[in-house]
Amino acid sequence: MLGLGYVGCVTAACFASLGHRVMGIDRDRHKVDNVLAGRAPFYEPGLEQLVRENVDAGRLSASSSAGSIADASVVLVCVGTPSEKNGNLGLAQLRRAIDEIAAQLSTRSTPLIVAIRSTVFPGTSQEVVLPALAGHKLVSVVSNPEFLREGSAVQDFLEPSLVVVGGSDASAVRQVADLYAPLGVRACLVSLGTAEMIKYACNAFHAVKISFANEVGALSEKLGIPSHEVMSTLCQDTKLNISPAYLKPGFAFGGSCLPKDLRALIYRIHALDLKLPLLESALPSNEQHLKRAIDAVLDLDSQKIGVIGLAFKEDTDDLRESPVVTLLEQLIGKGRQVRVFDPHIRMDAIYGSNKNFILQTIPHISRLLAPSLDQVLDWADHLVLAQKQTKETMQRIQASGIPVIALVDGSTSVPLPAREAVKW
């Protein structure tokens, strides 16, 4: 274990408690001496007892010399990656740790797995760690990010909600994942960069949740509404709120509810002289996401573009504030030829505000609508999937051989060949 800070010492003591022989290595003699004496070098509930028990049992030791990794089969790198002045991660400790490992490789005759447990930005293992190890044939590099909270780190390790191991060497990935097997959790085995990104995605999501709850709380209190009652009730919905719902990258949101309600909320926030940046940023964020999608389609060389889906989402005929309508406006304005198919849209069947919206936005929409999918497939030289499609539709699209750009997650219910499917 390279590094005996909050992550390294907890990880070392917990792995020792699972029966592994663990050597903790740190340049800080204070940390080393504390572990050797059976003491935790800092306060963390339950840690001192684990350290003492496992030092006494001979499963946990400590050293200030990197040469102690000579007999290790796995080295977990748990050194700090503090912020620099510009916000970037400081990798000095990581680089030094990897250099110390590299210095021990010349005489090594057995395989070694280097697992990066430190929080590093996606690409760091590929761009920093692997080159420093000079492609040594006996060394494999994996990413094994930690999800430990100070104050409950021991419990978080022994009762994990998530274990992630990423890398290109399947055997090394499995070997590190197997270290956690006694905990009864199924490890998520992913690519190297994915593992690094998951750590950031989790922490960003936690920060967003805290900020969201605080902003809703601030607005509620300003309105004289009990904020804890609002949020505790929100959490009762485990189908849409506290759930995987909406947590998949895809197309921009639209429809008759979300944009309208966000605009009303922001109006009231301003009227109350509040500043709630997270809530106020939702619509601009959505607009930027839509712009990225439009740019991706405009970057296509194709002139004849078939768009599958017109309503703001599948299985509805609601066109109000559909991001697809904005996409069509831009394509037409840039001189692209467009044909659209949506199985639920018939101009003679829609009416009211739904019809008014589409006719005011694209008066000639009737000329763009194709009555069948086959007509679009026969005409287009590139397809844009703006809604999730059924398995049958995806099979027909695949059979057509037309290249596809999918703007929504889950569009490819039937996998398309890599050369034909592009996720923007």
Active site residue ranges: 257
Q: Are 381 and 302 within 8 A, CB to CB?
A: yes
Count the alpha carbons within 13 Å of 375 in the hemisphere toward its beta carbon. 11
Q: Using an 8 Å Cβ cutoff, are 211 and 219 in contact?
A: no
Residue with tokens 């750590």: 199
Q: What per-residue string of b and e applies to 323-342 under the rule 16 or more CB within 10 Å gives b?
A: bbbbbbebbeeeebebbbbb
Contact in structure between 322 and 255 (CB atoms under 8 Å)? yes
28/2 Cα distance (integer angstroms): 11
Burial of 213 (0-12, 13-18, 19+ CB in 10 A): middle
Phi-psi region of 58 (alpha: psi -120 to 50; beta: other; left: phi over 0): left
What six digits make up the tokens of 405? Answer: 């750009």
Q: Round the CA-based radius of gyration of the chain to a whole number and report it.
A: 27
Tally of CB atoms within 10 A around 198: 19
For residue 150, CA distances in Å to 44, 93, 155, 210 come to: 7, 21, 10, 17
**370-377 long-range contacts, Cβ below 8 Å, gap at least 24?**
370/306, 370/339, 370/340, 370/341, 372/341, 373/308, 373/341, 373/343, 375/339, 375/341, 376/306, 376/308, 376/339, 376/340, 376/341, 377/306, 377/402
In this structure, the strands spanning 188-190 and 304-308 are: unpaired
CA atoms within 13 A on the CB side of 297: 34
SS3 373: helix
How far apart CA 205 and CA 215 sit, in angstroms, is 15
The CA distance from 246 to 372, in Å, is 30
Structure tokens at 219: 């607005």
